[in-house]
Structure 1
């Protein structure tokens, strides 16, 4: 293993591609010295509403599995409805799997408030025994599905900054600039660059 290798715990190819795009060094970062590899692990997920606690729990498990001295991170994304006091939150992936997008949208039908926030939490074990968390948040609203339905709930979330487009209708680069995942990974990338320059 190369010493600059960072392991991303995911089996989701779409997520991996998006994160590789976000973490790719830009022209001014020629000294970026980390290589992203992925590994699919089946990790326990604590039940709760504290998104940092959920991500840290998974990261600690992953660090124990991959072994000491190996930097590893997990990413957890939640979709929180204002009307439901933050639910479904971290459980959104199970809602999508069990109910489908149309029924999730229908849950909010009786309510005027369709506002929501998308939250991505990254938990990173630096290989030296220290854990770090980074969080990105994007405000938006839940709408009827528009655009491709190949990536989670992207087609039912319309960010406030997207001029009426859902994530699914946006070009990937434009989405990454405003998405909760893009924001969380921008903080993570800056941390990695700062560490590399120390």
Structure 2
């Protein structure tokens, strides 16, 4: 089976390849397509953004397509930044600006509990199916580590040993991460040979 992955991120492609090793799946990343559509992530939910991207690739290629969207939900901020995690400090903000804003808004907060949530959307001729992954944790008071991206230098997963995602190697992070859990659910579904929408 050919599967188009809605990303230009080589790290995400490598992670999915590792998760699907042993299955009869040939991955094609959107980055390898000359004319892959750019999709504006303007839905109100993570699932909505993931579905929008997967449907655009399905319409463009006619091949089964997989897309994701991820958000950081901070309890002290009533679930923000959530679906706007990548644009938290503004439409053109980078990861560093988003982290600075998060730290500023949490200054003095009595609780720093949070979770990363990933929604995967798989689209084929039968419709859409969703796979979700969640990783609970805490927001640190300062950045630690140089790996990863986004909020990784601030997020300490509950299932970890006190280090941030940015202090972990990719393999270690992927075993416990929100995206890893969603990909595990997707891989398990593929292994069963089932097809069809949710």
Q: Shorter-chain TM-score category?
A: 0.7 to 0.9
Residue in structure 2 matching 1:6, options 3, 7, 13: 3
4+ residue stretches of structure 1 with deviation over 6 A?
Answer: none
Distance 1:149 1:107, change over 3 A: farther
RMSD (Å) for aligned C-alpha atoms: 2.0
Aligned position for 1:74? 67
2:151 pairs with 1:153: yes
Aligned position for 1:45? 41
Distance 1:56 1:100, change over 3 A: closer
Contact 1:46-1:57 at 8 Å conserved across structures:
no
- Spell out, residue by residue over 1:24-55, the C-alpha distance to the aligned partner (whole angstroms, 9 max, x if none): 33xxxxxx11111201441122341x322232
Aligned position for 2:25? 34
Contact 1:117-1:138 at 8 Å conserved across structures:
yes
Matches within 5 A, 1:10-159: 10-25=7-22, 32-40=23-31, 41-48=37-44, 50-67=45-62, 70-95=63-88, 98=93, 99-126=97-124, 128-143=125-140, 144-148=142-146, 150-159=148-157
- List gaps (5 residues or longer) in structure 1: 26-31
Query: Secondary structure of 1:145's partner?
Result: coil
- List gaps (5 residues or longer) in structure 2: 32-36
Contact 2:39-2:52 at 8 Å conserved across structures:
no
2:184 pairs with 1:176: no
Distance 1:150 1:172, change over 3 A: closer
- Spell out, residue by residue over 1:122-166, the C-alpha distance to the aligned partner (whole angstroms, 9 max, x if none): 00013x232100000000011121111552221111101111011
Distance 1:23 1:85, change over 3 A: farther
Moved more, 112-121 or 170-179: 170-179
Aligned position for 1:166? 164
In structure 1, distance between residues paired with 2:55 and 2:3:
15
Query: Secondary structure of 2:175's partner?
Result: helix
Contact 1:22-1:176 at 8 Å conserved across structures:
no
In structure 2, distance between residues paired with 1:22 and 1:187:
10
Alignment size in residue pairs = 184
Moved more, 142-151 or 85-94: 142-151
Residue 64 of structure 1: CA displacement? 1.5
